[in-house]
Amino acid sequence: MSRERIEVSIHLLRECLALRSGESLLVVTDDDKRELGESLYEAGKEMGADASLMVMPVRSKSGEEPPKMVAEAMTRANVVVCITRYSLTHTQARKQAAAAGARLATMPGMTDDMFLNGAILADYQQVKALTERVTDKLTAATRVRIEKEGYHLEFSTAGRNGVPSTGMYLEPGQSGNLPSGEAYIAPVEGTAEGQILVDGSVAGIGALSEPLLLTLQEGRLVSADGADGARLLDMLGDGDGRMLAEFGVGTNDKARITGVVLEDEKVYGTIHVAFGSNNTFGGVITAGVHIDGVVKQPDVYFDEVIVMKQGDLLE
């Protein structure tokens, strides 16, 4: 087992989750990410935590619930880290563990490269400060418009609160991704109209070789034009998986477009939209799937005021 991975794990558990000696740590992993899970488990033991490792079969898609036994164990630990191929972020298991007081980080799709380079190495105090500023603006806004290459997508966020994913989960009940750095919100269902050019990456597909042009009517994805369009629609299914679920802004200046959406959606200068479930962060859609698409260097308006110009956040 790589000493470097254990050192990174110790740093993450200490700085981002405030793990203390004597606390219970649960590492949830799957057959795909088991080695990385074991690094976190070994790090927890070295730190004097009462550490446990649970390995489950790989889920079939992001947003799918873990086995019941795993979900129950997650509600009983002080600190939970989920390092899996597909994301457990938008699951009831994650929501219930946080409600029970766990400090929880999800690390879906994590690779060895991502574990040792890029977004993980950010100054998380800085990321936290920027993320909280953007979150406040999202909460205050009632309408969002995204413009890129002549296409525009507009939707309401009235009455919805922005959510910060700062990478620091130090208080009971705090949870989010690691590596992190995004502010996001659940758009009001049924309000999105227009088109958006997704040119970064798509969860489950990877970095895009050519852009996808997505068309939305009444909050629903009605067409996806481009090489991977049919694949995206297939992953989302024919039901509520096609509803616009999330709008997010990347706030991590060390993050890179790698083809793994966990890091891609955190890249400073990008925004992302997701389709499917949003009931775990203020929306009403439960779809059993949640898939993000990343857009590089757009213009973004909150209530007709420009807040991002070609990817640069305007303070």
Say which residue the tokens 């799709």 belong to: 109
CB 265, CB 181: distance < 8 Å: no
* Averaged pLDDT, 6-15: 94
Percent of the chain surpassing pLDDT 70: 100
Percent of the chain surpassing pLDDT 90: 96
pLDDT band at 158 (very low <50, low <70, confident <90, very high): very high
What is the topology classification, in CATH, of domain 3-116? Answer: Thermophilic metalloprotease-like (3.40.1830)
* Average of per-residue pLDDT values in the chain: 96
pLDDT of residue 1: 80
For 212-235, the pLDDT digits (tens) are 999 999 999 999 999 999 999 999
**Nearest CA to 17 among 154, 172, 150, 132?**
172
Answer yes or no: is pLDDT of 133 > 90: yes
pLDDT of residue 300: 98
For 29-49, the pLDDT digits (tens) are 999 999 999 999 999 999 999
* Residue 126 φ/ψ, nearest 5 degrees: -65, -45
pLDDT of residue 315: 80
For 225-261, the pLDDT digits (tens) are 999 999 999 999 999 999 999 999 999 999 999 999 9
CB 212, CB 293: distance < 8 Å: yes
Query: If you count them, how many residues does the chain have?
Result: 315
Cis peptide before 164 (omega within 30 of 0): no
pLDDT of residue 102: 98
pTM: predicted TM-score of the whole model, two decimal places: 0.87
pLDDT of residue 225: 98
Token pair, residue 245, equals 């679920």
For 72-106, the pLDDT digits (tens) are 999 999 999 999 999 999 899 999 999 999 999 99
Per domain, the residue ranges of the chain are 3-116, 120-313
Cα 304 to chain center, whole Å? 26
Non-local (6+) Cβ contacts of 129 within 8 A are none
pLDDT band at 264 (very low <50, low <70, confident <90, very high): very high
